[in-house]
Homo-oligomer: A and B are copies of this chain.
Amino acid sequence: MGPGPSNVHPRVLAAMALPTIGHLDPAFIDLMESIKSLLRDTFLTENEVTFPVSGPGSAGMETAVVNMVEPGMKVIVCVNGAFGARISEMVQRYSGTPVVVDAPWGKPIDPGKLDAVLTKNKDAKIVAFVHAETSTGARSDVKELARIAHKYDCLTIVDTVTSLCGIPVKVDEWGLDVVYSGSQKCLSCPPGLSPVTFNDRSIAAIKNRKTKVQSWFMDVGLVLGYWSGAKRTYHHTAPINALYGLHEALRLLHEEGLDNSWARHQRNSEILRESLEKLRLETFVNGDASLPQLTTVVVPGGVDEAAVRNQLLAKYNIEIGAGLGQLAGKIWRIGLMGCTSNEKNVRLCLQGLEDILKKD
């Protein structure tokens, strides 16, 4: 019940243990096609270029940045937590010029502030933002941020690592250009894969680059030689068994239905919030900015937060997350993501917290 990895369904674990076949085996090519199709359903997109990057969410983030950003390019990066800051750091490393639109940790990005910064930076080419900040539990209004970015002819890079399947992510309806996620949050797969989707505008921008993509491993043009087309060209050896797992997780999601997944995450989060209130524990993010899949809780004064987490793990076999960066020691992060989001877990976690805090 931390901020990911979430619990993994037994069917997904069983799929991971199937015999490894070749990355160019016709049966595996069929599986790749099925994964791409199921991922499109999950991102609510028709984007042809939709596939899982062979690395964790941070590799997906870097894939977005390294393919879209050219040296000297101005990129507006919205920063209201650790992951926005990470995007900004990556833009800088790949010789782009990040211009930060910040918000306090725990608050959403203010669309008005983005608009004001764009007015002053009309040479910006890209706006990057995080849908669900895993470091704080805050949700930003991705639809509105994308609308403003497009008003200034900017492309958007959108982090949906923690949001995908937990709350609506409507790639085509909202016009999101480059979107990446992670396997280990609401998709309930083991960590290690990062689903991405690129729309036609973003692919056209990549084709018009004046410089080569600096990373060979993450160059989408090269990766697509393997992930699409009639003739599959070897690029790198795909993580076969991890992809078996992702495929099974996507099938489970398809069986439940995306709407039902969103509703389940919402329902269990409400039980969690009501019970936290009864325990007089204050939630860090509230209202529209809160996330059903990730609830951040203010550590009460005088409580040793690490001791509470350690006891929860030792006595109740439950992991919850610590605060990151400027929130270290100040909050707990309780994840109800994917398979982890069920009422039994919520009740057990709250019982554990109640028992431990009483003694503390």
Q: Which residues of A contact B (CB under 8 A)?
A: 2, 4-5, 7-8, 13-14, 16-26, 54-59, 61-62, 66, 86, 89-90, 93-94, 182, 184, 190-192, 212-217, 234-242, 245, 313, 319, 324
Q: Which of B19, B58, B239 contacts A8 (CB 8 A)?
A: B19
- Decide: B13 and A14 in contact? CB cutoff 8 A: no
Residue of B nearest to A185 (CB): B237
Distance (Å) between the CB of A60 and the closest chain B CB?
9
Chain B neighbourhood of A239, CB < 8 A: 56, 190-192, 242
Instruction: List 22 A-B pairs, Cβ < 8 Å.
Output: A2-B24, A5-B21, A13-B241, A20-B184, A20-B190, A54-B55, A54-B59, A54-B192, A56-B237, A56-B238, A56-B239, A58-B235, A58-B237, A59-B236, A93-B213, A93-B214, A190-B242, A191-B239, A191-B240, A192-B241, A192-B242, A234-B324
- Decide: A62 and B240 in contact? CB cutoff 8 A: no
Give Cα A241–Cα B6 distance, bound, in whole angstroms.
13
Distance (Å) between the CB of A206 and the closest chain B CB?
15
Query: Knowing A19-B7, A20-B7 touch, does A55 contact B58 (C-beta < 8 A)?
Result: no
Interface centre among A90, A216, A239 (most CB of B within 10 A): A216
- Decide: B23 and A17 in contact? CB cutoff 8 A: no
Q: Shortest 3 CB-CB distances between A and B: which pairs?
A: A192-B239, A17-B17, A58-B236
- Decide: B17 and A215 in contact? CB cutoff 8 A: no
Distance (Å) between the CB of A245 and the closest chain B CB?
8
Give Cα A191–Cα B56 distance, bound, in whole angstroms.
14
- Decide: A236 and B57 in contact? CB cutoff 8 A: yes
> How many copies, total?
2
Query: Knowing A58-B236, A234-B324, A237-B56 touch, does A216 contact B20 (C-beta < 8 A)?
Result: no
Distance (Å) between the CB of A212 and the closest chain B CB?
6
Give Cα A8–Cα B241 distance, bound, in whole angstroms.
10
Query: Knowing A17-B16, A20-B7, A23-B191 touch, does A59 contact B217 (C-beta < 8 A)?
Result: yes
Chain B neighbourhood of A62, CB < 8 A: 215-217
Q: Which of B5, B22, B235 contacts A319 (CB 8 A)?
A: B22
- Decide: B237 and A182 in contact? CB cutoff 8 A: yes
- Decide: B7 and A215 in contact? CB cutoff 8 A: no
Query: Knowing A54-B56, A86-B216, A324-B234 touch, does A22 contact B8 (C-beta < 8 A)?
Result: no
Distance (Å) between the CB of A91 and the closest chain B CB?
10
Interface centre among A17, A93, A213 (most CB of B within 10 A): A17
Give Cα A313–Cα B26 distance, bound, in whole angstroms.
10
Query: Knowing A56-B239, A237-B5, A319-B25 touch, does A192 contact B191 (C-beta < 8 A)?
Result: no
Distance (Å) between the CB of A305 and the closest chain B CB?
14
Q: Which of B2, B7, B18, B235 contacts A13 (CB 8 A)?
A: B18
Query: Knowing A55-B54, A184-B237, A192-B242 touch, does A5 contact B17 (C-beta < 8 A)?
Result: no
Residue of B nearest to A60 (CB): B217
Query: Knowing A17-B13, A212-B93 touch, does A56 contact B324 (C-beta < 8 A)?
Result: no
Residue of B nearest to A161 (CB): B237
Residue of B nearest to A2 (CB): B22
